[in-house]
């Protein structure tokens, strides 16, 4: 039982503190909108007041559909200040996919950017319950007037293990699962991230990582804890990133390796290195030695992280050791490609054999990566069976196969599921296959990830057609784009007979081995 002097851990406490400690320091830069920390705290309380006035009660879910602007950043504090649970939505999903998430979460309010009005209206129409829509930015903006006219409110967090957010997975085995984050876990993981990133009040954090993804790896709160500046970015382009680095003094950003490649190879990179040291954290796949060298020449230092939605984002870090500085560049790159050790909020990460025992720390014996600690989800929303299956013995099985090195650092070797990681986004091969099989001409299909210089890997479909029917590559791709999110569509379709076992099971590994011959397929 909590002692009477205990204060429940909640990341909203960071903003309250920063509004005093860094009252006049820049907190948010979002185009023409610029707010100090005292103003950011006032706006968060007013957002909470507005939500309460709209009928939001403690435990209710509030969804937000917006790019990386203040419209998505501010609810990370305003929603929990109203006692509610934040559901940050992936703008790249189709209206049907978004509707499933909003309905599953039973969100009562949807704040949306004006550019996604069509999707917002479709969500409201498909919902079995009433949803209050709040339009932000653009013509007929409702968001700013709502905040300006609202009464400031803040409901005290009484239990740090209450939910602060629901983050939906990419639907790797069917429909997306709602991953439950607690106030406590978000608080501790944010502090861990602020420490590992070296954030302080002089830092300028550029929002290249989607805030909808694990609440921006909890950097939505970590940046606030440090009193650093949130530099919002509505549209992610390399030119915009370089402009921000050179004119706004960016010191930190996060993103997939494809973001690093985009920045390094853009025409703007020819203007010379960043005028100040920039720290970049990357995840989704280990960065290649080539891109690490290119980023270093641009005065951008890259740190590799590994994690999942179920672990509040970053779980491990390739913690750099001073003695490695003198190693040859190729050796340094090999070390940097490892997934490393648990972060401060994590317990020690293990690699387990099929019996649940630790594999030898020999860098060769493979097993499944398992984790526990303060940055592990509470479970899957409305799915206790899936929760129990994911955490036998209290250790979450990540679904990734790796090895343990003698120095305690893990390194991933493969996926136990056929997930395609394209540009840092997880794409379920099963989901794409199911979409393709709904085409009337398709008999069988296998979808795998194949190497791509820009995206790391992209989905490619191997399709067997029904007898005496015809379909083109364009037919299949357009069909998928009209069924699920467009970015999940295969980049290429190969019409062929599929390899099978004697029992008729399609051998996807045969297709994958052929596609990746001569390439290293690192998954992280």
Supply 338's token pair.
Answer: 């490892």
Residue 4 has pLDDT above 90, yes or no: no
Average pLDDT over residues 225-244: 97
Q: What CATH code would you report for 420-515?
A: 3.30.300.30
Average pLDDT over residues 77-88: 98
Quick one: pLDDT at residue 260?
87
Confidence of residue 237 (pLDDT cuts 50, 70, 90): very high
| Torsion angle defined by CA atoms of residues 433, 437, 443 and 449, in that order, rounded to the nearest 10 degrees | -20
Buried b (16+ CB within 10 A) or exposed e, 426-445: bbbbbbbbebbeebeebebb
Quick one: pLDDT at residue 186?
98
Instruction: Give me the half-sphere count of Cα atoms (radius 13 Å) on the Cβ side of residue 328.
Output: 3
Quick one: pLDDT at residue 468?
83
Same fold, 12-21+31-184 and 420-515: no
Domain boundaries, the chain: 12-21+31-184, 346-415, 420-515
Quick one: pLDDT at residue 288?
64
Quick one: pLDDT at residue 18?
98
Residue 501 has pLDDT above 50, yes or no: no
Task: Give the model confidence (pLDDT) of 316-366 as tens digits.
Answer: 999 999 999 999 877 887 788 788 999 999 988 999 998 999 999 999 888
Residue 84 has pLDDT above 90, yes or no: yes
Q: Which helix (H) or strand (E) holds 480?
A: helix 473-481
* Percent of the chain surpassing pLDDT 70: 94
Quick one: pLDDT at residue 1?
52
Contacts of 229 (CB under 8 A, 6+ apart): 25, 26, 27, 28, 29, 203, 204, 205, 223
Confidence of residue 517 (pLDDT cuts 50, 70, 90): confident
Identify whether the C-beta of residue 363 lies closer than 8 Å to the C-beta of residue 334. no
Q: Which of 108-112, 249-253, 454-458 has the lowest mean pLDDT?
A: 454-458
Average pLDDT over residues 261-276: 91
Confidence of residue 469 (pLDDT cuts 50, 70, 90): confident
What one-character-per-residue DSSP string does 179-210 give? EEEEHHHHHHHHHHHHHHHT--TT-EEE--S-
What's the mean per-residue pLDDT of the chain? Answer: 91
Quick one: pLDDT at residue 259?
86
Q: Which of 13-22, 231-240, 242-251, 419-428 has the lowest mean pLDDT?
A: 419-428
How far apart (Å, rounded) are the C-alpha atoms in residues 233 and 358? 43
Of 305, 324, 329, 323, whose CA–CA distance to 315 is shortest? Answer: 305
Between 502 and 21, the higher pLDDT residue? 21
Q: What CATH code would you report for 346-415?
A: 2.30.38.10
Quick one: pLDDT at residue 284?
67
Quick one: pLDDT at residue 256?
82
Residue 472 has pLDDT above 70, yes or no: yes
Average pLDDT over residues 32-61: 98
Quick one: pLDDT at residue 503?
36
Residue 299 has pLDDT above 60, yes or no: yes
Range list of H helices, 320-409 = 329-336, 384-390
Supply 55's token pair.
Answer: 């009928």
Q: Across 224-228, 280-284, 344-348, which has the greatest mean pLDDT?
A: 224-228
Q: Which of 115-119, 252-256, 262-266, 341-345 has the lowest mean pLDDT?
A: 262-266
Q: Across 45-54, 252-261, 428-437, which has the greatest mean pLDDT?
A: 45-54
Task: Give the model confidence (pLDDT) of 366-415 as tens digits.
Answer: 889 999 999 999 999 999 999 999 999 899 999 887 889 999 999 877 56
Of 92, 91, 90, 83, whose CA–CA distance to 61 is shortest? Answer: 83
Residue 502 has pLDDT above 60, yes or no: no
Task: Give the model confidence (pLDDT) of 25-45 as tens digits.
Answer: 999 999 999 999 999 999 999
How far apart (Å, rounded) are the C-alpha atoms in residues 107 and 98? 11
Q: Across 69-78, 266-275, 507-516, which has the greatest mean pLDDT?
A: 69-78
Quick one: pLDDT at residue 521?
60
Residue 286 has pLDDT above 60, yes or no: yes
Quick one: pLDDT at residue 172?
44
Residue 20 has pLDDT above 70, yes or no: yes
Confidence of residue 520 (pLDDT cuts 50, 70, 90): low
Quick one: pLDDT at residue 518?
77
**What is the assigned CATH class of domain 12-21+31-184?**
alpha beta
> 92: which DSSP letter?
T
Confidence of residue 2 (pLDDT cuts 50, 70, 90): low
Task: Give the model confidence (pLDDT) of 140-197 as tens digits.
Answer: 999 999 999 999 999 999 999 999 999 998 754 468 899 999 999 999 999 999 999 9
CB atoms within 10 A of CB 172: 18
């Amino acid at each position: 039982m909590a002692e009477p002097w205990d204060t429940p851990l909640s990341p909203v406490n960071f903003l309250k503190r920063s509004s005093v400690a860094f009252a006049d320091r820049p907190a948010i830069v979002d185009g023409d909108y610029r707010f100090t920390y005292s103003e950011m705290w006032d706006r968060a309380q007013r957002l909470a007041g507005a939500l309460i006035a709209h009928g939001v009660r403690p435990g209710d879910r509030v969804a937000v559909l917006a790019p990386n602007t203040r419209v998505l950043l501010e609810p990370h504090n305003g929603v929990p200040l109203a006692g509610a649970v934040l559901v940050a939505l992936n703008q790249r999903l189709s209206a049907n996919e978004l509707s499933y998430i909003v309905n599953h979460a039973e969100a009562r309010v949807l704040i949306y950017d004006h550019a996604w009005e069509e999707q917002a209206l479709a969500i409201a129409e498909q919902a079995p319950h009433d949803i209050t829509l709040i339009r932000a930015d653009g013509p007929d903006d409702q968001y700013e007037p709502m905040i300006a006219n609202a009464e400031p409110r803040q409901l005290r967090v009484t239990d740090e293990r209450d939910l602060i957010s629901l983050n939906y997975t990419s639907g790797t085995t069917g429909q997306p699962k709602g991953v439950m984050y607690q106030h406590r876990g978000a608080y501790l993981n944010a502090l861990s991230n602020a420490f590992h990133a070296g954030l302080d009040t002089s830092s300028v954090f550029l929002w290249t990582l989607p805030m909808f993804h694990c609440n921006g790896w909890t950097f939505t709160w970590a940046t606030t804890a440090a009193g650093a500046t949130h530099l919002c970015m509505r549209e992610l382009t390399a030119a915009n990133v370089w402009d921000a680095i050179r004119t706004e003094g960016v010191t930190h950003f996060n993103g997939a390796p494809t973001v690093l490649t985009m920045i390094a190879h853009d025409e703007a990179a020819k203007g010379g290195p960043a005028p100040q040291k920039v720290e970049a954290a990357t995840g989704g796949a280990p960065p290649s030695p080539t891109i690490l060298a290119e980023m270093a020449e641009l005065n951008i230092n890259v740190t590799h992280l590994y994690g999942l939605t179920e672990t509040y984002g970053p779980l491990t870090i390739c913690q750099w050791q001073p003695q490695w500085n003198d190693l040859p560049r190729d050796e340094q790159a090999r070390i940097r490609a490892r997934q490393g050790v648990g972060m401060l909020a994590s317990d020690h990460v293990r690699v387990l054999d099929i019996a649940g025992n630790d594999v030898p720390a020999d860098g060769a014996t493979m097993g499944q990566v398992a984790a526990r600690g303060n940055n592990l989800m509470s479970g899957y929303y409305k799915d206790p069976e899936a929760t129990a299956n994911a955490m036998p013995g209290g250790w979450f099985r990540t679904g990734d196969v790796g090895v343990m090195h003698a120095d305690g650092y893990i390194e991933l070797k493969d996926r136990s599921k056929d997930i395609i990681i394209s540009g840092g986004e997880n794409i379920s091969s099963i989901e794409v296959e199911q979409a393709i099989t709904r085409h009337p001409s398709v008999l069988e299909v296998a979808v795998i990830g194949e190497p791509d210089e820009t995206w790391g890997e992209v989905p490619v479909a191997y399709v067997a057609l029904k007898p005496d029917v015809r379909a083109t590559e364009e037919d299949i791709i357009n069909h998928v784009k009209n069924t699920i999110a467009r970015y999940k569509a295969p980049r290429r379709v190969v019409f062929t007979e599929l390899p099978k076992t004697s029992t008729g099971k399609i051998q996807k590994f045969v297709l994958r081995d052929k596609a990746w011959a001569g390439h290293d397929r690192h998954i992280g």
